A and B are shown apart, each in its own frame.
Chain A
Amino acid sequence: MSHEKKLVAALQTPKEQQLAFSELLRQYKQPLYWHIRRMVVRHEDADDVLQNTFIKVFRNIKKFKGDSKLYTWLYRIATNEAMTHLNKKAKQGQCTVNDVKEQALKNLKSDPYFEGGTAEQILLKAIAALPQKQQLVFTMKYFEDHTYQQLSEILETSVGALKSSYHIATAKITAYVKEHGSNPLTVVR
């Protein structure tokens, strides 16, 4: 039995559940945090979403049948939770998800949990200007080094479509950086 299957079996066994859940947290809290953080921008939001993700995982682990890999399932939950969080904020602010992200990026300069410079800010703004799906594909491929096969399983999209999406996203980002990079003041407000 693979390590993952053993972990899932332990998570689904009441007596072993607590210990197995600690192991799950140990393995996935960091990659999932960074995945979520890149989607929601602010640390406080990422913290909320990460906690909600693990709580959802804990409450639904019995329903996990092993049709997909545990890794894929966890990323799907984290992605959905982050999207739900962004949609909720957009609804509260009566604006779009992109507006929410743009606003968060505008405040990055004063964010105590951001140490990037102008280049990072321009890149993040370029990503935020993409359609939601392209943002996800680019971020997960570029920053998180997922393979196309993994992305295909997580996002339930064909490898061909993902490659095309990543290519389009890259072209848009490089064009954006070329346009704004020479004069950072035009984007770093």
Chain B
Amino acid sequence: MKDTHKHTGYITPPDYFQLFETDLKNRLSTQGLPKKPGYTLPPDYFEMVEGPIFKKISKKPKHTAVRPVAYIAAIAASVVLVVSLFVQKPSAGVSWQSLSAEDISSYIISGGIEMNTTDLAQLFKDEEINTLQNFTSTLNSNTLEDYLLETIDEATLETE
């Protein structure tokens, strides 16, 4: 058949005829399927939803300041302390090698070590604290925000 379109100047998007058949088949095969999934919502939901959103955005984000240096310092110091305890007084049957990072982490989280940030800061030399500060300053705010949203629940933020 003669390609009469050549005389009209009309053109098609690239691969149009190759894709047309696929598109048509897709439309035909989905014809018998429901067009809506059947979800509903509470009456007046869309009128009501704006209230909580405005309430939340009008709250100034609390400067939990999250004190990354303090947190990292706390964790690092706790690990150093645990290591030093085990190195100095090896208990029968327990060695540093036999402990996993998870064991140490659980020990710290369950309150096995009680120290405040001042105590922890004293364990570090100024240079070490500077190194930690340099490390945390390389974290960009989005990474930090994502991490916090993932790991800190609202209750914690409220109490901070």
Contacts and interface: CB of A to CB of B under 8 A. Distances in A.
A116 B34 contact: yes
B22 A51 contact: no
B57 A143 contact: no
Given A174-B29, A174-B30, A143 B37 contact: yes
A109 to B, nearest CB: 11
Contacts of B35: 143
A124 interface: yes
Nearest to B19: A163
A79 to B, nearest CB: 15
A47 B42 CA distance: 11
Contact of B34 (A22, A34, A58, A123): A123
Contacts of B25: 167
Contacts of B149: 84
Contact of B38 (A88, A114, A167, A174): A114
B40 A113 contact: yes
Which of B22, B32, B35, B37 has its CB near the most chain A CB atoms (within 10 A)?
B37
A116 B36 CA distance: 8
B53 A55 contact: yes
Contacts of A142: 30, 33
Interface in A5-21: 21
Contacts of B30: 142, 170, 173-174
B52 A51 contact: yes
B13 to A, nearest CB: 9
B97 interface: no
Nearest to B48: A47
B139 interface: no
A115 B40 contact: yes
Interface residues of B, number: 30
A170 B46 contact: no
A113 B39 contact: yes
Contacts of A59: 57, 61
A160 interface: yes
B49 interface: yes
Nearest to A138: B30
B24 to A, nearest CB: 11
Interface in A102-131: 113-117, 119-121, 123-124
A54 B53 contact: yes
Nearest to B29: A174
A88 B149 CA distance: 10
A43 interface: yes
A126 to B, nearest CB: 9
Contacts of A132: none
A89 interface: no
Contacts of A37: 39, 41
A22 B37 CA distance: 29
B40 A170 contact: no
Nearest to A126: B33
Interface in B141-159: 149-150
10 tightest Cβ-Cβ pairs between the two chains A and B = A116-B38, A120-B38, A174-B29, A170-B26, A58-B57, A113-B40, A120-B34, A54-B53, A119-B34, A115-B40
